[in-house]
């Protein structure tokens, strides 16, 4: 007589999840374990981990034919997350545990040879998928309990050992429950903008960029403060809302980059890849199913590319699609995945390869300078809303007992203005589901939210003269709305549109 056990788990594909049904049949035949349902190499190796873990519980592993089927059979099963549910399915088929508590329960976790339940990537998106799949509870590794506990609407339990799960199923033990969520740490906001001496124009551009989630280009000689400004942008951005925080945390969970002590990321991420980063490192890649890259890890935060002309042109051009669509689609051997990638791009560049402190000391020919600056293509630059050419600060900016000006505004004061501007934008666009001005489609700006004819005159003049593309016109209007929000206006006027246009004319000469 064959024994049958049925357990559920979750497969994570990109940031989405799919419910996986795991069936185990113990039937007469030669001893052996057969896995069906498109398992990868890691999953096929789980047979030995499970055999050892069950034996170390004091249970005899079935010495007959064991068949484990993972459904849907057409979905590729990847990773070690199925170890725990497959072991429980075998115990159930062998009559070692009852089925009552398995109904409405999803199990996730890798097993050690002695039965310990180990951490796996992607616990947060898997738990979200379990909730969407209608499960009442989910059992995860004990060390991932804080991450899974972020999801409301279902019971989350943590297990440190396979024996604990078996005892819980028999009603003989309790499993761990999540503790209170960690309190957000203000120190995570990073360095203060008051540390930057002078550079009032660049600071204002940074504030506009933060208020509207616009892309920014900073040019100037080395040591002038481009990197200092960029690294302080997260400190003036509003904290992530509940939905955005879960999105960002889920991506970092899949990448294995989610801090154990801070499972919910409230501070917008700041990602700064090296100049030598490849296309897969930036947009995502890898064999099997693609992993998230820098553009997705920077979702709802900042992607900073320092010395951007030194980067590979292919890497830079790969940014064009996520900049336009806010997402990246990656096709690999095991399927196509889509990762969110709505980030703020901040580019920093020297004006030429030799990059002297004073432009008059430059030894580069005009051809060399054009070739260097030309590494950023016109289509990529057209997607950058704000451009600032930074100049060395004057002596008055460096005066003070501590070597810096004492009148520099702190990040907290700027963040308050940014938050007010974002609230105004969110209220205006909420009916359409947009959060920031940068997300508003150009068609909406030209039709439903069209500005007064006088305010549009500067844009129309630039278009007639060929100084502005149609894409550039839309981006100019978005920046104008942001400037108006910072000034508390119901709608931007001609002055705000002129100011937005001026930001597209500076910084890349």
The string of DSSP letters for 448-486 reads TTPPPHHHHHHHHHHHHTTSS-HHHHHHHHHHHHHHHHH
Q: Do the Cβ atoms of 159 and 145 come closer than 8 Å?
A: no
CA dist., res. 69 & res. 71, Å (int): 6
Per-residue model confidence as pLDDT tens digits over 51-71: 999 998 888 888 889 999 999
* pLDDT of res. 38: 86
**Closest of 3, 75, 81, 70 to residue 35, by C-alpha:** 70
* pLDDT of res. 182: 67
Mean pLDDT (the chain, rounded): 88
Scanning 306-452, the segments in alpha helix (DSSP H) are: 313-317, 320-325, 366-373, 378-381, 395-398, 411-429, 442-446
**Closest of 4, 19, 183, 174 to residue 95, by C-alpha:** 4
CA dist., res. 385 & res. 208, Å (int): 10
Query: What residue has token string 């055999």?
Result: 51
* pLDDT of res. 332: 83
Per-residue model confidence as pLDDT tens digits over 167-198: 999 999 999 998 877 666 555 667 888 888 88
Which DSSP symbol is given to 180?
P
Q: Do the Cβ atoms of 264 and 188 come closer than 8 Å?
A: no
Per-residue model confidence as pLDDT tens digits over 379-426: 888 899 999 998 877 655 555 444 444 457 888 899 999 999 999 999
Top-tier CATH class for 3-169: alpha beta
Cα 9 from chain centroid (whole Å): 24
Q: What is the mean pLDDT of the segment spanning 427-455?
A: 90
pTM: 0.87
* pLDDT of res. 406: 43
Q: Do the Cβ atoms of 106 and 133 come closer than 8 Å?
A: yes
Share of the chain above pLDDT 70, in %: 94
Tokens of 173: 């033990």
* pLDDT of res. 374: 78
Q: Do the Cβ atoms of 308 and 276 come closer than 8 Å?
A: no
- Using a 10 angstrom Cβ sphere, with 0-12 exposed, 13-18 middle and 19 or more buried, the burial of residue 73 is exposed
For the chain, what percentages of helix, strand and coil (3-state, to nearest 5) are there?
40, 20, 40
* pLDDT of res. 401: 45
Domain 216-384 grouped into CATH 3.40.50.970: no
* pLDDT of res. 403: 44
**Domain range summary for the chain, segments of one domain joined by +:** 3-169, 216-384, 405-509
State the DSSP string of 189-243: G-S-GGGS-S-HHHHHHHHHHHHHT--EEEE-STTSSHHHHHHTSGGGSPPP-HH
Least confident among 297-306, 390-399, 465-474:
390-399
3-class secondary-structure state, position 92: helix
**Closest of 349, 288, 289, 282 to residue 322, by C-alpha:** 282
pLDDT score of 264 more than 80: yes
């Amino acid at each position: 007589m064959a024994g049958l056990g049925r357990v559920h788990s979750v497969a994570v594909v990109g940031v989405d999840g799919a419910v996986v049904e795991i069936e185990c049949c113990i039937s007469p035949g030669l001893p052996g374990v057969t896995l069906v349902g498109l398992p990868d190499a890691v999953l096929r190796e789980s047979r030995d981990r499970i055999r050892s873990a069950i034996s170390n519980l004091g249970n005899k592993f079935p010495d007959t034919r064991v068949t484990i089927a993972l459904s849907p059979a057409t979905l590729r099963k990847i990773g070690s997350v199925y170890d725990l549910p497959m072991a429980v399915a075998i115990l159930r088929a062998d009559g070692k545990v009852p089925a009552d508590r398995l109904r409405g329960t999803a199990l996730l976790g890798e097993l050690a040879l002695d039965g310990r339940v180990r951490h796996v990537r992607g616990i947060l998106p898997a738990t979200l998928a379990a909730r969407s799949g209608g499960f009442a509870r989910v059992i995860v590794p004990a060390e991932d309990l804080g991450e899974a506990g972020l999801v409301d609407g279902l019971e989350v339990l943590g297990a440190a050992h396979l024996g604990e799960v078996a005892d819980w199923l028999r009603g003989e033990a309790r499993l761990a429950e999540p503790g209170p969520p960690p309190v957000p740490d203000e120190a995570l906001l990073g360095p203060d903008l008051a540390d930057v001496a002078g550079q009032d124009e660049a600071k204002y551009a940074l504030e506009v960029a933060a208020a509207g989630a616009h892309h920014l280009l900073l040019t100037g000689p080395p040591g002038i403060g481009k990197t200092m400004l960029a690294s302080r942008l997260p400190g003036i951005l509003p904290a992530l809302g509940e939905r955005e925080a879960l999105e960002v945390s889920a991506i970092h969970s899949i990448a294995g980059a989610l801090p154990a002590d801070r499972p919910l990321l409230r501070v917008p991420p700041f990602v700064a890849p090296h100049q030598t980063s490849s296309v897969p490192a930036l947009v995502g890649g890898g064999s099997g199913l693609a992993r998230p890259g820098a553009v997705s890890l920077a979702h709802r935060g900042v992607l900073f590319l320092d010395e951007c002309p030194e980067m590979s042109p292919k890497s830079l051009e790969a940014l064009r699609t996520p900049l336009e669509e806010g997402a990246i689609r990656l096709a690999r051997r095991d399927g196509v995945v889509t990762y969110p990638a709505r980030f703020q791009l901040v580019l920093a560049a020297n004006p030429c390869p030799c990059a002297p402190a004073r432009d008059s000391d430059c030894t580069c020919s005009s051809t060399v300078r054009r070739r260097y600056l030309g590494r950023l293509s016109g289509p990529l630059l057209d997607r950058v809303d704000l451009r600032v050419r930074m100049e060395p600060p004057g002596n008055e900016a460096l005066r003070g007992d501590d070597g810096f000006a004492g009148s520099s505004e702190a990040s907290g004061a700027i963040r308050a203005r940014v938050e007010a501007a974002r609230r105004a934008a969110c209220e205006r666009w909420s009916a359409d589901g947009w959060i920031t001005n940068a997300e508003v489609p150009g068609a909406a700006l030209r039709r439903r939210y069209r500005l007064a004819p006088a305010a549009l005159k500067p844009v129309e003049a630039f278009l007639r003269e060929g100084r502005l593309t149609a894409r550039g016109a839309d981006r100019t209007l978005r920046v104008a709305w942001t400037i108006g929000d910072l000034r508390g206006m119901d709608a931007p006027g001609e002055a705000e549109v002129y100011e937005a246009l001026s930001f597209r004319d500076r910084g890349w000469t």
